[in-house]
């Protein structure tokens, strides 16, 4: 949908509109003091789920753009001017998020990882929740694309038991592209928010890199990462890799194979 139409529905106006970089799933525009996100055919509830995740992160003390307006057809956010890198600030913000315990795992309403639907539901059993509500739906959606890797992935998913530290609110899709160093400090964008083990966020941050050594040193100083959690990160990366196979194809199969070999060796 045209961003001007979104702004009109929101009761807002901006004279200059230009595309912004990014937007693998949605189209993103700068419109004066606003950022407008649209999609030609958004899955039902995708933009409301993103807005809910942003509000949950904000309530937890994470810097995010303010939600100005949301509808099924799009999202209007506050524009955050860019600023200098602040890895210490990011470490402090994430360590606070990741040490604040929640009652149970999951999310009360359906969500999305990209365009992939995530079912609603909450549980106290972390291994069972992550297996049944996160990995197995993605495995089913990618079984044909995985080819001979599919039975190996199934054995890992059903046979591995990840460690538990306790349920915390996750950004849920925390790669470098969803980090914005703003003039007010580090901010997180485009969440797929739900409550899980913090290793899920750490796994995505490690998967594609882009977070400096200064960040990791400052984060570990505030919230050390036990060896058993480190050992579970490739398993959690499988969640994101299967989603990438689903959306972007077999170029991600070698990375899936590396995860399997890590646990099969």
Helical ranges in 147-252 per DSSP H: 150-159, 199-208, 213-222, 227-248
* Per-residue confidence (pLDDT) for residue 179, from 0 to 100: 97
Classify each residue of 15-47 as buried b or exposed e, where b means 16 or more C-beta atoms within 10 Å of its C-beta.
eeeeeeeeeebbbbbbbeebbbbbbeebbeebb
Is 15 in the active site?
Answer: no
Would you state the pLDDT for residue 238? 98
Residue 201: CB atoms within 10 A of its CB come to: 21
In this prediction, residue 21 carries a pLDDT of: 77
Rounded to an integer, what distance in angstroms lies between the CA atom of residue 164 and that of residue 6? 42
Rounded CA-CA distance 97/239 in Å is: 21
The predicted structure's pLDDT at residue 218: 98
Q: Please give the pLDDT value at position 26.
A: 83
Residue 13: its pLDDT value, please? 85
Q: Which pLDDT score is estimated for 107?
A: 98
Would you state the structure tokens that stand for residue 133, as one six-digit string? Answer: 């509500």
Please give the chain's pLDDT, 265 residues, in tens: 789 999 999 999 877 899 987 656 789 999 999 999 999 889 999 999 999 999 999 999 999 999 999 999 999 999 999 999 999 999 999 999 999 999 999 999 999 999 999 999 999 999 999 999 999 999 999 999 999 999 999 999 999 999 999 999 999 999 999 999 999 999 999 999 999 999 999 999 999 999 999 999 999 999 999 999 999 999 999 999 999 999 999 999 999 999 999 999 8
Cα separation, 104 vs 123, whole angstroms:
6
| Chain position carrying tokens 């599919």 | 150
CA distances from 123 to 45, 106, 137, 157, 221 (A): 22, 6, 17, 18, 30
Name 116's Cβ contacts closer than 8 Å, sequence gap at least 6: 137, 138, 141, 243, 246, 247
Helix 136-146 vs helix 227-248: angle between axes, to the nearest 10 degrees?
60
Sign of torsion over alpha carbons 138, 140, 142, 146: positive
Residue 14, pLDDT score = 78
Among residues 15, 86, 125, 173, which one is catalytic?
A: 173
């Amino acid at each position: 949908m045209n961003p001007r139409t979104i702004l009109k529905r929101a009761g807002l106006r901006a004279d200059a509109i230009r595309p912004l970089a990014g937007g693998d799933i949605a189209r993103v525009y700068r419109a004066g003091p606003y950022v407008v996100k649209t999609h030609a055919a958004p899955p039902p509830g995708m933009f409301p789920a993103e807005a809910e995740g942003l509000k949950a992160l904000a309530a937890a003390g994470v810097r995010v753009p303010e939600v100005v307006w949301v509808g099924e057809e799009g999202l209007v956010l506050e524009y955050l001017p860019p600023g200098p890198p602040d890895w210490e600030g990011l470490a402090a913000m994430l360590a606070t998020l990741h040490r604040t315990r929640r009652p149970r795992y999951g999310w009360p309403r359906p969500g999305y990882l990209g365009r992939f639907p995530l079912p609603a539901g909450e549980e106290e059993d972390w291994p069972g929740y992550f297996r049944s509500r996160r990995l197995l739906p993605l495995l089913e959606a990618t079984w044909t694309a995985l080819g001979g890797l599919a039975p190996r992935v199934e054995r890992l998913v059903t046979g591995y038991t990840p460690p538990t530290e306790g349920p915390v609110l996750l950004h849920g899709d925390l790669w470098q592209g969803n980090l914005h160093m703003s003039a007010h400090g580090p901010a997180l964008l485009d969440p797929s928010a739900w409550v899980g083990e913090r290793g899920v966020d750490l796994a995505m941050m490690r998967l594609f890199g882009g977070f400096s050594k200064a960040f990791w040193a400052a984060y570990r100083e505030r919230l050390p990462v036990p060896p058993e959690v480190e050992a579970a990160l490739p398993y959690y990366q499988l969640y994101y890799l299967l989603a990438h196979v689903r959306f972007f194809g077999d170029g991600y199969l070698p990375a899936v194979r590396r995860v399997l070999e890590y646990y099969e060796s």
